[in-house]
Amino acid sequence: MRLLFEFFRRAGGLKCVYRHCIKVDGKRESSAEHSWRLALMASAVAGEFGLDSSKAVKLTLVHDLLECIAGDTDFVEVAEVVPRKKARERRKRWRLPS
């Protein structure tokens, strides 16, 4: 049970990771906001594409979990940054309880 609570605590860190994209209000979106909105969209449209909505939502909820430890990467600089981000995530993934 302790590991589960530790996982939830660390996942809550997504609220403090700000993405590089700007929202319509001029503020940066947090990874938590991004994941929530993506899960909502997946839930709404999965059936239209013949996908299992439960699996689609689960995937969207975990796809950025490592960002609570490794941070976000600007998609404009992907070619240059991705190898460094992947290495950073590999080094830090052990910190997320499984």
Q: What CA–CA distance (Å, rounded) separates 33 from 18? A: 9
Domain harbouring 37, CATH code: 1.10.3210.10
Secondary structure E strands in the chain: 18-22, 28-30
pTM reported for the whole predicted model: 0.68
User: What total number of domains does the chain contain?
Assistant: 1
Give residue-wise pLDDT tens across range 62-82.
Answer: 888 878 777 776 666 666 666
What per-residue confidence (pLDDT) applies to 89?
A: 74
Rounded to 5°, the CA angle 28-19-49 comes to 105
Give residue-wise pLDDT tens across range 1-26.
Answer: 899 999 899 888 889 888 877 888 98
For residue 27, the 8-state DSSP code is S
Which domain, by its residues, includes 26? 2-95
Choice among 6-20, 24-38, 47-61, 76-90 with the minimum mean pLDDT: 76-90
Does the pLDDT at position 98 exceed 60? no
For residue 98, the 8-state DSSP code is -
Q: What CA–CA distance (Å, rounded) separates 79 from 30? A: 23
Q: What CA–CA distance (Å, rounded) separates 41 from 66? A: 21
